[in-house]
Every structure is written in structure tokens, then in C-alpha cells.
Chains A and B, each alone.
Chain A
């Protein structure tokens, strides 16, 4: 597993991210931080607590971080969830959108663990 494989597996574009962040070292530094980023657990916690405002903020933050790191699939699903929650209340689609975020997130995390092994 290298960065190129990682990016193609998460829907991203290695060339784009290396243009943006210049060095693999820098990309790696941020990806390591992503492993510790609390946004996703905040998102699931706030779903359990039925706290839509916090869920919106967490989804929004997760989307932003993915946008910055070029993690495209997760960025897309997080973005859809963000827009679903913007109105301030959960609806029939919310849980399904969260499931999509969860599966994209799990993919990213397992790939990252592999990458840093």
C-alpha cells in the first residue's frame, strides 16, 4: 500500500493532492492526524443522542477535512449527509446517509491502518 493506491481506493486523485500539498511527507502527516480526528465519532454519537445540530456540525467538519485531504468518496457522502441535516432535523433519509458515511469512513480507516503499518 502506498499513497497512490490509497488515493485511488478512496475515489481520490493522487496527482491532485500532491500538487496541492507538495510533498508526500506533508500528506502523510495530515492522514495520520485524520486517524485521530474526532468528527466521525461525534457524528455517530450525536445520531444516538438525536442531536441534529451537533450531527450537522460534525458532518460538516468531516466533509471539510476530506475536502482538504482529497478523500473524495467520504467527502461526497459526508457532504450529502451535511445537506440532509442542514434544516436542523433528522428525516427518513438521514440514517441511510449516515450508513454510507460509515462504510466510506471504515474503508478509509482500514486503508490508512494498512498504509501506516
Chain B
């Protein structure tokens, strides 16, 4: 949370973009008593400077329209394309008198237009007003993000308490949940990158990651002598064990709000179908291929990998490389070929997936991104 609110003790920094040295000097003389000042002689240098620093490095840009290399309109266009105008207010400074040009600057996202000759006090007032407005908006945003974050965090705690209760009874450590979440997040991010048909937004990713915690919810009603039996199951025991996926889905169905909650629906998909396999050999429904929701496919893969590399009452852990090879060879049932591509790509990340810090940072990023998306949709 701390990193959301940046404390700035130093003076706000203004980037003056103008090809005329006299104009640069005049503006500098007006603003330098109150602001840090940096200069760019043309639009290309301006864009380079803005994009090579963090989003909050410059607080405001004063932008001339007519410049060699890239002009002011090009700068506005480029910053807009890169979503930088939300963070960097632009004041156009120009001797332009053609209304069409001034209108164009506003349309492209300029916050204000200051014409020549400059009046020191008016220039300063306009800058400070714009900065105050931006700071206020930013503060409100941070407030909303913080509330969103706290609420989301509490929801996650509750989900984890429940998931851990299931796993403890299951004789597995709390790490299993952490692993499943980390592996699911890593796989989803990579999947989004290599397969354009899965263009999950960050909300969807955090929903699937949260829901992955509950994949074994149904085990809560499997007798503990079966759950914790060392050695092989009898056919009957295995049959009982396999019921956990349908039972978990059943518990969720009975939950209040099931019909309207996309989180519960995603959890249901994962609970019921995380033992399905791509070629239809899984259970409980024998779904095939894309009949299995991608969320359940991903959690199935994560679950399978974690089962291989973890110690269980009935087996020793396999080394990472062996586990990856076994999955790729289809020894744990068949998965979506796209997911096998993803697995090869994220294999080094999975090796490090135990890194709880990595997982935490993934989640914080996810929540923050979700909150920003909510804000931007307002």
C-alpha cells in the first residue's frame, strides 16, 4: 500500500518544450522560483525525456506547437497513445492565433493554452491551479484504491482461511494454497501473453487466482481416513475421493448470491472441473477440450505440478525437472496444447514460484490494477 502514495518533498518538475532559446529562458525565469525546470528543444527529445522517467517525474509540461523534428501536436498524440496524459498535464504555449489550431490542441488532450506575451503572475496561477486539480484527483484516486484494496484483501483473507481449513484437514500444508495461487497466476499471465484469445483483464486474473484457493473445497466432506490414507486407494475409496470435485461445486451452488457472483461461478467451474482432462479422460463429467473452462484447465495444471513436486503421504516429491517432463509426456493426463507451450515458457518461474514475495507482489499489482480499471471506467 505504501508505494501507492508517493511522497514528494521536492519541488514539482516542469518540462519546458520549445525550440526557441529565448522562449525557454523567459518561461524558466517565470517558473524557476517555484518549480524544478527541465528543457527539451523539440518534440522528440520531450517524448524521450518523459518516457525514460517514471510517470510522476514531471508534474507538468509546457509545450510549444511549432518545433522542428516533432511538433506539439505530435507530442500530444504520442503521449495520448501511451496513456501518459492522465498523469502529465500539458499546457500549450504558443503564439498561435488560429482558433482551429488551438482547438486541435485541446482536442488532443492539452489542459490549457497560454498565449504570448506571457504575464508572469497569470502563467504561475494557471500552473498552480492545474497542479492542484491534478493533486486532488490523484488523492481521491488513492483513497478509492485504498478502500478497494482493503476490501479485496479482507475477502482474500476469508477465502484463504477457508481454503487452509480444507487443506489442513487434508494433511497438506498451507503452502499448497500458496503454491496453487502462485502457479495459477504465473500460468495465466503467460497464457495472456502468448495466446491472444485469452485476453484476461487483471480482474479476471485475480478472480481466478482467488478461486483457485477453493479448488479442493469438496474435500471437507471426504472422510479423513480416506483423505489421509497412506498408500494406494481401493477402487471404492478412489471413487469416494473423486466425489470431492462435485461436492465442492455443490457447496458453492448453495451459497447465497451464487447466481449473480462471477467469483462463485468461477470457483464452481474450478471446483467441479479441475480434474477434467483435455482428451476427456478426467472426472466428474468427462469434458473434452474447450468444454473445460480455461480457469479449471489452468488450476488443474497448477494442481498437478504441485502434487508432483510435493511430499504426500503416499509419495516422495519429484524434482522440478522430472515433474515438468512428466506433465509434458502426458503422464498426468493430457492438457491443452497451448498450456503445454505456456508450461515450457514459465518453467523457470515455476521453479521460483515458492517465492512468497513474488506472489505477494503479483497480487498487490493485480489489486491495484483492478482498482485503477474500476476508476478509469467511471
Contacts and interface: CB of A to CB of B under 8 A. Distances in A.
A60 B96 CA distance: 8
A63 B22 contact: no
Interface string B56-74: 0000000010111000000
A65 B27 CA distance: 12
A86 B96 CA distance: 11
Interface string B26-38: 1001000000000
Nearest to A30: B22
A6 interface: no
A70 B94 CA distance: 15
B66 A60 contact: yes
B98 interface: yes
B301 to A, nearest CB: 58
Interface magnitude class on chain B? 20 to 34
Contact of B19 (A26, A29, A61): A61
B119 interface: yes
Interface in A17-39: 20, 22, 26, 29-30, 33-34, 36-37, 39
B23 interface: yes
Contacts of B116: 64, 67-68
A63 B21 CA distance: 14
Q: Indicate the member of B94, B116, B119, B120 with the most A CB atoms within 10 Å.
A: B116
A100 interface: no
Contacts of B20: 37, 39, 61, 64-65
Contacts of A30: 22, 25-26
Contacts of A69: 22, 117
A54 B120 CA distance: 30
B354 interface: no
Interface magnitude class on chain A? 20 to 34
B26 A68 contact: yes
B95 interface: yes
Given A39-B20, A60-B66, A86 B25 contact: no
30 contacts: A20-B117, A20-B118, A20-B120, A22-B120, A26-B29, A30-B22, A30-B26, A33-B21, A34-B22, A36-B21, A39-B20, A56-B66, A57-B67, A57-B68, A61-B20, A61-B66, A63-B95, A64-B20, A64-B23, A64-B64, A64-B94, A64-B95, A64-B116, A65-B20, A65-B22, A67-B95, A68-B22, A68-B26, A68-B95, A79-B97
- 6 residue pairs, one from A and one from B, having the closest CB atoms: A64-B95, A67-B116, A60-B66, A33-B22, A68-B117, A67-B95
